[in-house]
Structure 1
Amino acid sequence: MSSDCTTPFFDMLTQDLISEILVRLPVKQLLRCKSVSKPWLSLISNPNFIKSHLNHTSHGHGANQILFLDRRGTSMYLLHLDSCEIDFSLGDFSFSRPLFRTAGCCNGIVCFYHARTVSRLKTNPYIHLWNPATRQAKLIPPYNIHFDDSFSLSIGFGFDSIGNDYKVVALLATFNKPCTAEVYSANTNVWRRVEPNPEDLPANGRIDVSVNGYLCCQGTNGCMMAFDLNKEVFKCRIKLPEGSFLIRIKDFDDCIAVTHSKENDLTNLFNLWKLDDEACLRDSRVEASWTLMLSIDVGRPVEFVFGYFKSGDLLLYIQEEDTLLLYNSDNKEPRNVPVSLEYIRTFKYNESLVSITGFKQVNWQAWEDDS
């Protein structure tokens, strides 16, 4: 066979092999690989490659084994659950501006805002979208809601897979007016009013989780509330499992789940329930039903569950000992997580090459000071 016939096939095979190798590399190495050649730069920058890489980090070996930790609104860092090691130093991703809060983490993109402005809600908080792996970030425009007597602000963040859009939702409530909500689209870079107004507010002042295009949390009336990121509407008064206390809405194998313990439960028992069908989030006539997936007694009182991971591990907070416990639901083996606890919010995190329109490479400390 002539070389003219074999060369194109060989080149194609080589490109496929290169792509299969590169898609398995961490972001830090891929960023270096961009400088190898123009073809490699083009490949790594290709949206299809970025999507394949994200899929590999989300579902491949070690998926969801990294947590994004927010400690008292002063610093964030990544922790590998399998090794309990810090991925990078605090100094690389620390913030001198005090009291920021994390609204959510999705596809390697983190949304956070500065909480010191929340106490003065006449002034919109600085809301940022940030990819810590690529060190790209964006300060999004302020929302349009302004109330002189505001007292409650909740911000959520998630991905609309149908519209291929990252969205931020802000709920603002007052003492004498209905709750008002706006949604920000990264594709259009504008905020829009959500109609009709939501009938409820997040019970703990924050939106717990983003799952399959829905932002979910427990409402003040004791039911679950959800925001459809594609249709941009709220669904409230979603029935939760009965007899629950210390509710947390979580992601369980890419499904909406509820973890709870029972008040004065002498057996230290906590349960995890999975939502059977998301039809109740789309149709008010469909009642929510839940299936008990886990019922576990670790021998110690569990304050709440931070998260469930594909390895079968649950990250638990033991209040009496003020410690984090990693408990494997399959082999029933617990192990302590050596993290100094103050106040912690945790998010499942998968590094990615995802970039949002308007993202800029930043020297974080300088960019932070300039903001």
Structure 2
Amino acid sequence: MDHLVEMHYQILKRLNVSDLIRCKSVCKSWLSIIYDPQFIKSHLTQSYLNDRDNDGLGDRRLAISLFPGYLKANPFEIGFNESRILGSCDGLVCVLAYCNKLRVLNPSTREVKRVANPIICIGDGAMYWGVGYDPYTDDYKIIQGFKSGENYYWREVNYTFISSNGVLYNGLLHWVGYNSTEKFVTLSFNLSEEKFVEVPQPNDEEYQFRVGQHESMRLRNMEECLCVFRQELVPREIWVMKDYNNRCWEIFLEYEREKKSDDVHCVKLLTNYVSSRWSLCHDMLWCDNRKLLGTPTFVESLVSPHLLVILA
């Protein structure tokens, strides 16, 4: 890469996605850079760095907006009879729309991939989902499991899932469930090895009494950490894993935490999408509390939704 091209490369990777889309029309050399897979990864890394360096903000949340000024965001779980966001990873968003339609979109580039309908219909049985990136195969994957009768199906998983949406953290997907002894557990799923592993919960009597043995226990991301809480206690009491590798948990009480604003991206409902029109975009608003803790985090990217594998 010569000096001039390298200079253009470094400048372009610091631009936001909307500016890069316009830059594609400037010249062929810029178009070539922006479409390059390595540039897309480099730009994604830069986007994460920009988010972390933006002082005063918490997480970038993602929710569905029905109408201008109206936000549809259940802090915990949204029923399967409604459109819902199943997860987000590297700027890709998986949405289960009305009539059991599964779509993966990039709100920044306005690309949409129509995914084959789920292997069972809404209402036929409890389902769990997850969206993540597999570095081993360099693929983005959607995980779908479902319950029929007394059994969960996804490679004969021997757990009953309480939470339906997998929480992506540290490259792994996480759910809350209980095992064959009816003990509540936190599960992690490795997308490369396709294996479930139990994650140790806080070794604290107060946690076990107030959180660890309640069906309303949920997992989420907060300030770049995995957290666990009871729905009834948010935002007053949240347990945060400050050190994932050493499984180090800390309790964050509302009055002890620094107040931060979350940057919330509102994705318009995915209806009659036409790629040449502004029928799908995202707007931003501010949230000064943790009511949107149940929504996934989001970062702008150039990643295409057409790079996807479905595991069911």
Q: Relative to structure 1, is the Cα distance of residues 264 and 142 closer, same or farther in structure 2, using a 3 angstrom cutoff? A: closer
Q: Relative to structure 1, is the Cα distance of residues 349 and 138 closer, same or farther in structure 2, using a 3 angstrom cutoff? A: same
1:348 and 2:310 are equivalent in the alignment: no
Q: Residue by residue, what CA displacement relative to the aligned partner does 1:313-355 show, whole Å, maximum 9, x if unpaired?
A: 476xxxxxxxxxxxxxxxxxxxx8379x8x9842211110111
1:337 and 2:287 are equivalent in the alignment: yes
Q: Relative to structure 1, is the Cα distance of residues 275 and 233 closer, same or farther in structure 2, using a 3 angstrom cutoff? A: farther
The aligned residue for residue 217 of structure 2 is 247
- Which 5+ residue runs of structure 1 have no aligned equivalent? 1-10, 80-97, 118-124, 182-194, 279-288, 300-307, 316-335, 360-371
CA shift, 1:239, in A, is 3.5
- Which 5+ residue runs of structure 2 have no aligned equivalent? 72-80, 263-285
The aligned residue for residue 99 of structure 1 is 82
The aligned residue for residue 92 of structure 2 is 109
Q: Over aligned residues, Cα RMSD in angstroms?
A: 3.8
The aligned residue for residue 280 of structure 2 is none
* 1:64-83 paired onto structure 2 within 5 Å: 65-70=59-64, 74=66
The answer (yes or no) to whether the contact 1:111–1:157 under 8 Å persists in 2 is yes
Aligned with residue 160 of structure 2, among 201, 206, 216 = 201
The aligned residue for residue 260 of structure 1 is 229
User: 1:68 is matched by which residue type in structure 2?
Assistant: L
User: 1:293 is matched by which residue type in structure 2?
Assistant: E
1:49 and 2:39 are equivalent in the alignment: yes
Rg larger for? 1
* 1:276-315 paired onto structure 2 within 5 Å: 276-278=243-245, 290-298=247-255, 313=260
* 1:360-371 paired onto structure 2 within 5 Å: none
Q: Residue by residue, what CA displacement relative to the aligned partner does 1:214-251 show, whole Å, maximum 9, x if unpaired?
A: 11021144211222111112235x43224242533233
TM-score, normalization by structure 2:
0.69
Aligned with residue 126 of structure 2, among 116, 135, 152 = 152
Q: Residue by residue, what CA displacement relative to the aligned partner does 1:51-72 show, whole Å, maximum 9, x if unpaired?
A: 111001112233975321136x
How many residues were matched structurally? 258
Q: Residue by residue, what CA displacement relative to the aligned partner does 1:165-193 show, whole Å, maximum 9, x if unpaired?
A: 111111110224x2112xxxxxxxxxxxx
CA shift, 1:292, in A, is 3.2
The answer (yes or no) to whether the contact 1:212–1:254 under 8 Å persists in 2 is no
Aligned with residue 129 of structure 1, among 84, 90, 104 = 104
The answer (yes or no) to whether the contact 1:68–1:349 under 8 Å persists in 2 is yes
Aligned with residue 163 of structure 1, among 114, 134, 137 = 137
Higher relative contact order (CA 8 A, sep 6+): 2
The answer (yes or no) to whether the contact 1:149–1:175 under 8 Å persists in 2 is no
TM-score, normalization by structure 1:
0.59
Q: Relative to structure 1, is the Cα distance of residues 261 and 314 closer, same or farther in structure 2, using a 3 angstrom cutoff? A: farther
